């Protein structure tokens, strides 16, 4: 297993992972284009992928412009192996080296993702979009969690 920075050549496999999920499914897969992925990886922020046998099985992307976790997804066949947590932690470590601003994300209620973020120390601060839970992580909470 290798976790490394994502690059634009990874986008086709990132899209495969994004469309393989069983929760937080895109209502319209055309809403997240390859160009969107390229912009978030090269202009707005940074991403990471997890490869097993040269196949991307998970990825995370953070958006510095909106202080938002844009994506953290894992192929369902590779869940419960700690991959999501590693991608999450690498992403937040990098984010908080860039800025001390709070970072937020939205996820559907009553999902494994909701449980994951609560266990990772995120704080629910309201709702976002179409009934999603809005979570926030502060620099102070992340630093305390890491020490």
Segments making up each domain of the chain, as ranges: 2-146
pLDDT value of residue 29: 56
Helical H runs in 53-108? Answer: 83-98
Residues in the chain: 147
Taking the C-alpha atoms of residue 98 and residue 126, their distance in angstroms, rounded to an integer, is: 25
pLDDT of residue 96: 97
Contact assessment for residue 99 and residue 67, using Cβ atoms and an 8 Å cutoff: yes
Q: Which of 60, 15, 17 is nearest to 36 (CA)?
A: 15
Return the CATH architecture of domain 2-146.
3-Layer(aba) Sandwich (3.40)
Task: Find the mean pLDDT for residues 105-109.
Answer: 93
What is residue 33's predicted lDDT score, i.e. its pLDDT?
A: 80
CB 9 within 8 Å of CB 49: no
Q: What is the pLDDT of residue 78?
A: 87
Tokens of 28: 């319209």
Report the pLDDT value the prediction gives residue 48, as an integer from 0 to 100. 98
Tens digits of residue pLDDT in 56-102: 999 999 999 999 999 999 998 988 899 999 999 999 999 999 999 99
Predicted TM-score (pTM) above 0.85: yes
pLDDT in tens, 7-37: 999 999 999 898 876 666 555 556 678 888 8
What is the spatial distance between Cα 56 and Cα 78, in angstroms, rounded to a whole number? 11
d(CA 146, CA 62) in angstroms, rounded, equals 19
Q: What is the pLDDT of residue 42?
A: 93
């Amino acid at each position: 297993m290798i976790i490394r920075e994502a690059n634009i050549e990874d986008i086709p496999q990132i899209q495969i992972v994004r469309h393989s999920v069983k929760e937080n499914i895109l209502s319209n897969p055309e809403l997240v284009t390859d160009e969107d992925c390229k912009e978030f990886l090269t202009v707005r922020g940074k991403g990471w992928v997890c490869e097993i046998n040269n196949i991307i099985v998970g990825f995370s992307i953070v958006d510095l412009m909106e202080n938002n976790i844009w994506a953290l997804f894992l192929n369902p066949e590779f869940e419960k192996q700690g991959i999501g947590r590693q991608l999450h932690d690498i992403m937040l470590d990098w984010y908080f080296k860039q800025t001390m601003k709070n970072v937020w994300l939205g996820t559907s209620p009553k999902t494994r993702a909701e449980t994951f973020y609560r266990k990772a120390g995120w704080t629910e601060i309201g709702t976002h979009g179409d009934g999603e839970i809005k979570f926030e992580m502060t620099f102070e909470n992340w630093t305390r969690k890491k020490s």
